[in-house]
Each structure stands twice: as structure tokens, then as C-alpha cells.
Amino acid sequence: MPILPEDLPSKPCLVGVEHDGRRGLVLWSGGRLAQLASGLDGLLRLTTADMRNALQSRADELDPARCELLAPAESQEVWAAGVTYLRSRAARMEESSESDVYARVYEAERPELFFKAAGWRVVGHGGKVGVRGDSTWNVPEPELAVLTNSRGEVVAYACGNDMSSRSIEGENPLYLPQAKVYDRSCAIGPAAVLAWEVDTSGAAITMRITRGGAPVFDGAASLSDMVRDPAELSGVLHSAYPLPAGAWLLTGTSLVPPPPYTAEAGDVVNIEIEGVGRLVNTVAVVPHSGARARPRL
């Protein structure tokens, strides 16, 4: 969809765009879209100081109406943290037959980190997020998304949606990868707000879900309720795993729509973080092939 200035955060941010059939990265600042000499992969190989310098040397301006908005991700892997808020701990303990693992990880020194998506799969603002065809209970998870460079330094923030199957994870925590990683399960956007332009520590996060235009869930929380520091979580992600083009990290959810809510095709999910912007996506069902791998017992 063409970029509308009101879709973009008011703070300076990096925006993924398609312009004249080419994908790239631009800087949104002072109401203008400026082309950059480097893509996101190139910028994230730099130190924060060098990246800040690189953002000063801009090329031509682009007309937002002639650009399509894309997710702010190139070859970055997307990882996610779990059970970083009391609300998430409670929700997991309710849904799971193995509630103890969630209670333990909430207060353990080592956080829960799991792989979520390859950068090219990330859905942007206005795109379709998925629920699995073989899952009976599905929720969007609104989360602060943190972008780090190759050195693990936090350089930007965005809104993230960790679409999840609660029925699959609830059946057995070992099914987490299937509950979390499937087509269209990750959305990030609308853009990457530069970390030195915004303080997210006490920011409000809200999620509104509508069905046929009517609200079916409305929730608000504060990022200050997170029991772990986002920069420390990113540090653990980078600790034994080189990420030469940086990474996105979803930092966990504090807003869990209670049963009987389950996401359905056509639901519109609106996630907003103060200072970071608004990410809106419509839910679609990701078809399941019917494949099985039953044990020969």
C-alpha cells in the first residue's frame, strides 16, 4: 500500500520501501522521506556512532505516495523472548499442562529466547498476519521489537506481533517452534524508530482487535512492567551467536486476550506503542497441507 505520512511515527525512523520496483531503506525525518546510501544490512554492520554519521549523508527525496511500505527487515533474523511479564507467565500457566516451566523461566537468570522468523518473511504494516489451519486457539501478541546492530547495540524500536498458537504450545511446550514459527506469524512495523530519538522505558502499549468493525479486545499496559531489560535480552541473544547483519528481538507480551477469544480470518489487529507508532494487520488463515508423521509404536 502507498505510504501515508500518518502511518509513520513522528520520530525519525528507518522505513522499508518498494519504489519503482526496487526494495530499499529510507529515512523518515522532518516530514520527508530521504534515500540512504546503504541498506539496513549495511547500516547494521556499523557501530552506532558510524551509523549515526552515515544517516547524515542522504541522497534524493522520495514521494511517499509513490512508495510501498515494507517491513523494516532485510537479512536480519527475528528472535523473541518469552515470559517477560507477569501476565504472560499467568496465561502460559493456565493454558499448559506443564505450568512449572513457565514459572521457573520467569524468575530464572537465563531468559527464554526462541527463533521467530527470517527477515524476508516479516510482515509489515498493512499486511496479513497468519493463524495456522491446524490450530484451534490463536492470539496476536503485541510486543516491543528491538533492533540491534552486529555488535549487539540497540539502534531502533518498532511494534512487533508474535502471532501464536496457544492450543499447540499448550499441548506440549516442546511444540513451541510449531506454535510460533509458520507462514506470516511475525509482523514488525510500521518503521524502525532510532533508539536515540525515543525513550521506551515507560511507554504505553495497547492492542485493539476488531471483528466486522466492532471491538473484540481492547487492552493497555506499560513497557515498565517488563521484568527484563530489552538491551540485556539482546545482549544474551548476541552472546554466543554472531549476527553480522544485526537482529530484531521481540521482547515478550503483556497483553493476552482471554478465552473465548481466538483470532479469526478478517480480524484487524491494531498495536500501538507510545513514540514508536502503530502496526495494523489483518488476520488470514495459513492453510495446512494435512501432513502427518505419526509414530510407529
Q: Choose the binding region for ligand DO4 from 18-26, 80-88, 124-132, 227-235 (rule: CB under 6 A).
A: 80-88
* Helices of type H across 119-264: 166-171, 176-180, 230-238
Residue 81 C-beta: closest distance to ligand DO4, Å: 7
Choose, by CB under 6 A, the member of 24, 92, 111, 163 that binds ligand DO4.
92
112: contact with ligand DO4 by CB under 6 A: yes
Residue 153 C-beta: closest distance to Mg ion, Å: 23
Given a contact cutoff of 8 angstroms between Cβ atoms, the answer to whether 69 and 17 are in contact is: yes
Query: 261 Cβ partners below 8 Å, 6+ apart?
Result: 139, 209, 216, 217
83: contact with ligand DO4 by CB under 6 A: yes
- Name which of 149 and 253 has its Cβ closer to Mg ion: 253
Residue 123 CB coordination number (10 Å): 24
From the list 207, 206, 225, 198, the residue with the least C-alpha distance to 263 is 207
- Name which of 7 and 267 has its Cβ closer to Mg ion: 267
Residue 112 near which of Mg ion, ligand DO4, none (CB within 5-8 Å, type-dependent): ligand DO4
Choose, by CB under 6 A, the member of 8, 73, 80, 158 that binds ligand DO4.
80
Residue 263 C-beta: closest distance to ligand DO4, Å: 15
Q: Of all residues in this chain, which one has the CB nearest to Mg ion in the complex? A: 162
What is the sign of the dihedral through the CA atoms of 248, 253, 259 and 261? negative
Task: Report the phi/psi class of residue 92: left, alpha or beta, with left for phi > 0 and alpha for psi in -120 to 50.
Answer: alpha
Binding site for Mg ion (CB under 5 A): 141, 162, 253
Given a contact cutoff of 8 angstroms between Cβ atoms, the answer to whether 287 and 211 are in contact is: no
Residue 105 C-beta: closest distance to ligand DO4, Å: 7
267: contact with ligand DO4 by CB under 6 A: no
In the block, cell 509458520 appears at 182
Q: Considering just the CA atoms, what is the radius of gyration of the chain in Å?
A: 19
Q: Which residues bind ligand DO4 (CB under 6 A)?
A: 80, 82-83, 88, 92, 112, 141, 162, 176, 252-253
